[in-house]
């Protein structure tokens, strides 16, 4: 996986998401980390919208054997997305190299794989399917924008200084 995904991941960050992050920060004055956290908040909303109809049906049918696992899955997803948001807030604002860039690479790979495979599962798309696709899209955006927490110019200058000292 590393052999083919690492260059793709780096290319997506450098060519797409870092310029997008820089433009949103410069043009709208938004903090890069808040943009990533906002995407994760929308992903959390999408997760809830995708899972609540089935849970509601199970609860209204008084089917605890179906409702309990659905509730556990719903809560695990919400906790995972909120924990990721907490990690972004804790580590994303640090100066220097962004530790989330390398450590979140497997997460980005999994979310992209799910995002690419999700439309293949559609038959008759309902609100839950659309919300699930939106959740995956915003989770991917949040993960990529979280990897771009530093302005591009600072990283470029730091790389030039490392190259000159070597």
Calculate the CA 25 to chain-centre distance. Answer: 18
- Intra-chain end-to-end CA distance of the chain, in Å: 30
pLDDT number for residue 28: 80
**Look-up of token digits 């938004």:** 30
pLDDT in tens, 54-101: 777 777 777 777 777 878 887 888 888 888 888 877 775 555 556 677
**Residue 19: Cβ within 10 Å count:** 13
Identify the DSSP state of 29.
Answer: -
d(CA 125, CA 130): 7
d(CA 62, CA 75): 19
52 contacts 74 by C-beta, under 8 angstroms: yes
Which candidate, 87, 77, 79, 75, places its Cα nearest to that of 36? Answer: 87
pLDDT number for residue 94: 56
pLDDT number for residue 93: 57
pLDDT number for residue 13: 83
CA angle (100 as vertex; 48, 106 as ends), nearest 5: 70
Residue 5's SS3 state is: helix
pLDDT number for residue 69: 81
Count H helices, E strands: the chain? 8, 0
- Domains of the chain: which residue ranges? 15-165
In this prediction, the residues of the chain whose per-residue pLDDT falls under 70 are: 1-2, 92-99, 120-125, 149-166
d(CA 36, CA 84): 10
């Amino acid at each position: 996986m590393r052999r083919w995904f690492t260059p793709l991941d780096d290319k997506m960050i450098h060519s797409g998401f870092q310029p997008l992050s820089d433009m949103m920060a410069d043009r709208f004055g938004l903090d890069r980390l808040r943009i990533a956290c906002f995407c994760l908040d929308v992903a959390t909303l999408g997760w809830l919208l995708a899972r609540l109809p089935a849970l509601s049906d199970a609860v209204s049918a008084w089917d605890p054997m179906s409702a309990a696992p659905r509730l556990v899955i719903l809560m695990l997803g919400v906790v995972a997305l909120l924990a990721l948001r907490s990690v972004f807030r804790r580590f994303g604002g640090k100066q220097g190299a962004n530790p989330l860039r390398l450590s979140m690479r497997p997460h980005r790979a999994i979310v992209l794989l799910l995002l690419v495979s999700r439309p293949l599962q559609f038959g008759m798309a309902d609100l839950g399917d659309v919300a699930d696709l939106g959740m995956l899209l915003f989770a991917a955006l949040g993960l990529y924008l979280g990897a771009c927490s530093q302005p591009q110019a600072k990283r470029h200058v730091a790389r030039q200084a490392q190259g000159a000292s070597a």
